[in-house]
Amino acid sequence: MSATALPNATLTAAYEAMTPGSAKLSAQARAVLPSGLAHDSRHFDPYPLYVSRAKGPVKWDVDGNRYVDYFGGHGSLILGHNNPTVMTAVHAALDNGTHFGACHEAEVRWAELITRMVPSAERVRFTSSGTEATLMALRLSRAFTGRDKLIRFRGHFHGWHDHMSNGYSNHFDGSAATGVLDGIASGILLCDPNDSEGLTRLFNDHKDIAGVILEPTGASFGKMPLRQDFLTLLRDLTRQSGAILIFDEVVTGFRVSPGGAQQAIGITPDLTTLAKILSGGLPGGAVVGRKDILDLLDFDVTKAAGREKIGHQGTFNANPVSAAAGIATLGIIASTDACARANAYAETLRARLNEVLEDEHLRWAVYGSYAGFHIFTNPTDADIVPSRFDPIPFVADMIGKPRGAGVNGQIRMGLLVNGVDVNSGPSGWISATHGEEEMAITVDAFRATIRALKREGTVA
């Protein structure tokens, strides 16, 4: 069965009519999982979609509805679902065993590939997730500099551990999030994105800044973009002060370009955190960067220097199955135009969706950079032209705004009912497998969604 809009039903009624299997599973899930969920960003009213299989740019829910997929495994699937080369490598690895409790050849080859592709990567330490990678990057920065404070930018996401729990979606005053020690929160200095004066002031006022962490294309993969001059200032200030510059490339790594955002932007950080595409759709992460910093994880170097080594364990670090998926994925990215194709599709899609907005006389915009898109619903009704929209002046207003609620939730619902899945931004990650067919479905779904929202009185 394919997903088709029911023209006379409200979007919610249409969604409920086509997804009884998801409704049933969600009801069961709520009895055992808080909110019935395993990840906050899958929260969706009245209930989330339950998916049973996927292939290339599409996936199917438990009721057999087919969707063009822009959730992309939370951004980890730039080669689309079930890439045949990656799957062959995974199956071969599985046949050899899922965990040796030992070093293995694949982790060496994986790390060699990363150091060849990512400009800042002189050394690699694998973790099991992006959250663990940013946790280690922050600890390395403090240990290397002997300083306490870390700067982060409001709205940027770096995982859910204690050090990064304020300033993403709440606690913008720097206070501790619930369950987090005040002492941890007080070590984090918050700065607004693109606030050059504020950033300079922080460096003038604090001589104990260990490091600065950021999403290099801006929060949520460029939903709140950063100006290039701000990035240059950041590199200059960190270099002058001896603070460690950390690019969190968990999303942008191997997506923006084979060498990540740092290659595309032309700024090399001291440390980089990686996950998602790194391990080809399986769990994994890494902190990579300058040898002299990662040497704090090295038994021999720290012993010779009389320094305390940073302890680091992790049962699933560099798991052989993740390593196999990672090597196959990075190999394809390094040797083909996969990133460029995904970027090109995204650029055309943004333009085509903006044509729909202009045809429908709606002052929203579809914007973004590289292989992604974001839908701006213009809450203040600013005088914008969709195809020429510049998000930079609107970044401050976007910080902390609920995703997936109100009109954003309705957009997502409308797109689902018409066979397209985006994330709660509403935004999308694009893969190298998206093509003309998916483009046509998406454009039609977007138009149908806007018309449904007009009919329902959600937009004028």
Ligand X SMILES: Cc1ncc(COP(=O)(O)O)c(C=O)c1O
Catalog residues that contact ligand X under the rule CB under 6 A: 74, 129-131, 134, 157-159, 215, 248, 250-251, 275, 285
Query: Are the CB atoms for 376 and 389 separated by under 8 Å?
Result: yes
Cβ at position 279, least distance to ligand X in Å: 9
CB of 341 to ligand X, least distance (A): 22
Minimum CB distance to ligand X, residue 281 (Å): 12
The answer to whether the beta carbons of residues 20 and 62 sit under 8 Å apart is no
- The CA distances from residue 251 to 140, 315, 344, 370, 375, in Å, are 21, 23, 18, 11, 18
CA–CA gap between residue 207 and residue 224 (Å, rounded): 28
The pair of structure tokens assigned to 174 is: 């720097």
Report residue 95 as tokens: 């046949």
CB of 137 to ligand X, least distance (A): 10
**Tokens found for residue 433:** 């497998």
Q: Which is nearer to ligand X, 158 or 350 (CB)?
A: 158
Q: Which residue from 266, 388, 278 is spatially nearest to 328, judged by alpha carbons?
A: 278
Distance CA 98, CA 77 (A): 21
Cβ atoms < 10 Å from Cβ of 36: 17
Nearer to ligand X, 191 or 251 (CB): 251
Least Å distance, CB 214 to ligand X, is 9
* Smallest separation (angstroms) from ligand X to the CB of 131: 3
Quote the least distance from Cβ 196 to ligand X, whole Å. 22
Neighbours of 105 (CB within 10 A): 9
Output 60 or 429, the one with its CB closest to ligand X.
429
Q: Which is nearer to ligand X, 90 or 164 (CB)?
A: 164
Q: Classify residue 310 by its DSSP letter.
A: P
Q: How remote is the C-alpha of 67 from its chain's centroid?
A: 21
Which residues, other chains included, contact 386 with Cβ-Cβ below 8 Å and sequence gap of 6+?
354, 357, 358, 362, 363, 364, 365, 366
DSSP 403-426: SSSHHHHHHHHHHHHTTEE-BTTT
- Nearer residue to ligand X within complex by CB, 284 or 419: 284
Nearer to ligand X by C-beta: 259 or 285? 285
Nearer to ligand X, 414 or 426 (CB): 426
Given the complex with ligand X, which of 57 and 425 has the nearer CB atom?
425
Residue closest to ligand X, measured at CB: 130
Rounded least distance, CB 74 to ligand X, Å: 6
